[in-house]
Amino acid sequence: MKTISIICLIAIFCIMPLRGQKEEKIVLMDLAHGQRMWNDPKQPVPNIGFPDSTRIQYINEELSKTLKPNNAKVVFLKDRITYNDLKRGNLLVLHVPSLPYSKKEVKNIKKYLNKGGSMLLVMEADYWTDLGKTNVNEIIENHGMQYGAQSRDTLVGGYTKKGVITPRELNITYELGRSIEGGTPFAFNNQTDEAFGVHKNLQNESRIVVLGDAMCSLYMTEWKGVEGYKCHEFMDGIYKWLLQN
C-alpha cells in the first residue's frame, strides 16, 4: 500500500509541471509562392540581389525574438498549401507572394480562417510583386478587405495610432506601399495619412492583419538616412494580437 502511494506521488509530481506548460504555438510561413523577401535560412538564397543570406538570417532571427514571448515558433510551408498543413498552425503568414494561389489553396485558406485560424498578409508595390498576378484579394474579399492602388505618397516614413495593435503611437518604416480598403486602420503614411495597415476580428476568434508595405515586417529600422524606426515594437504588437486567438 505504501509503495502504491509513493508511485502515485511520483506520478503527480511528474504531471504537475506539464500542466503548467503552455502548448507551443505554430506560425506557418508560406514560401511556395515566389516570396522574394523571405526564405528558410537553412536553404540556398535565390540569386535575385535582395535579400542576401545575411539579411535572410537577420529577419529570421528577429522574427524568432518577436515570437519567443508568445511561445511560438516558425514552420515553413514549401509546397502547395493544404488544409492539413493549416490545421496544425495558429497563424498563417503570406509575405509578399509573387505567384498566384490555386483555387484549392484559396479554398483551404478561407476554410482555415472560418475555423478559427488567423493570418498576416503582407504585400508591396509592384516593383517587388504584381498584385494582379497574386490573387491575394480573393483570399480576403469575403471579409470586406481589398488591396487597392499603389500609394501616392512620395515621402519616406509612416506612423501608427494607439490601439489594440500598438499601445502607443510609433514612427515606422514606409515607402511606396499599397492602399487597403476595409478593416480597422492602424498604420498610415506620413504624407497623405493613407492607411497601409488594417486589422479585423473575424468569427470563431479568427484575426487578420493586412499590410501594404513590407519594410517593418522585414525589421528595416533604418532607411535613407533615418534611423530608429520602431519596427520591432510594431511587429511585436501585430504578432501578439494575432496569436491571442
pLDDT at 76: 96
Structure confidence at residue 154 as a pLDDT band (50, 70, 90) = confident
- Please state the pTM of the whole predicted model: 0.88
Q: Which residue has the higher pLDDT, 231 or 2?
A: 231
pLDDT at 47: 53
Structure confidence at residue 19 as a pLDDT band (50, 70, 90) = very low
Which residues, 6 or more positions from 101, have their beta carbon under 8 angstroms from its beta carbon?
Answer: 33, 81, 109, 134, 135, 136, 138, 139
Q: Which domains are delineated in the chain?
A: 23-242 (3.40.50.880)
CA nearest 211: which of 195, 222, 223?
195
Task: Kindly state the average pLDDT of the residues 221-228.
Answer: 86
pLDDT at 225: 81
Task: Kindly state the average pLDDT of the residues 116-141.
Answer: 91
> What is the pLDDT of the chain when averaged over all its residues?
88
pLDDT at 40: 86
pLDDT in tens, 170-183: 999 998 889 999 99
Please check the confidence at residue 123 and state whether its pLDDT lies above 70: yes
